[in-house]
Amino acid sequence: MSEPNDRNKQVIAEFRANEGQVGGFFADKQLLLLHTIGAKSGQPRINPLVYMPDGDRFIIIASKAGAPSHPDWYYNLVANPDVRIEVGTEELPVQATVAEEPERSQLYDKIAAKYDFFAEYARKVTTRVIPVIVLTRK
């Protein structure tokens, strides 16, 4: 198992043991667990992600820490947009939509103002536009 997968498993376990609260890098951030189905494998996947509430919606960023490629979970969402999230102790069915301009930039700027690492990721990326995903309760 790769190091990121090991780290994700630890974060997921801590999230569930502490009603959605996690320490370390995520200590002062809002975190959700995104449940997807692998676009190629068809296997269930879970990813811990920082999010920002926007009314009844949840906003997540496919930044992959500023890497030149999208994270795998992004492709899973595009292939299968009906997903589930865990927020605190709640599990919710949601519909994932990739935000289009100008909403994408507006939402990205809003979350980057709250979490400055997203602004840094955007500066690092030169070969792609970082997708913003809107998760809407079903």
C-alpha–C-alpha distance, residues 116 and 114, integer Å:
6
pLDDT at 35: 97
Residue 2: band (very low, low, confident or very high) from pLDDT cuts 50, 70, 90: low
- 43 contact partners, CB below 8 Å, separation of at least 6: 37
Contact (Cβ atoms closer than 8 angstroms) between residue 1 and residue 38 = no
pLDDT of residue 126: 77
Task: Check whether the bond before 102 is cis (ω within 30° of 0).
Answer: yes
CATH 2.30.110.10 fits 3-137, yes or no: yes
Separation between Cα atoms, residue 49 and residue 52, nearest integer Å: 10
Digit-coded pLDDT (tens) for 74-130? 999 999 999 999 999 999 999 999 999 999 999 999 999 999 999 999 888 878 999
Does position 3 have pLDDT exceeding 80, yes or no? no
Count of beta carbons in the 10 Å neighbourhood of residue 46: 17
In this structure, the number of other CB atoms found within 10 A of the CB of residue 107 comes to 20
- pLDDT, one tens digit per residue, over 46-74 is 999 999 999 999 999 999 999 999 999 99
Quote the DSSP letter at residue 3: H
| H/E run at residue 75 | helix 72-79
* Predicted pLDDT at 1: 43
Residue-wise pLDDT tens digits, 103-115: 999 999 999 999 9
In the structure, what pLDDT confidence band is assigned to residue 40 with cuts at 50, 70 and 90? Answer: very high
pTM: 0.93
* Chain centroid to CA 32: 7
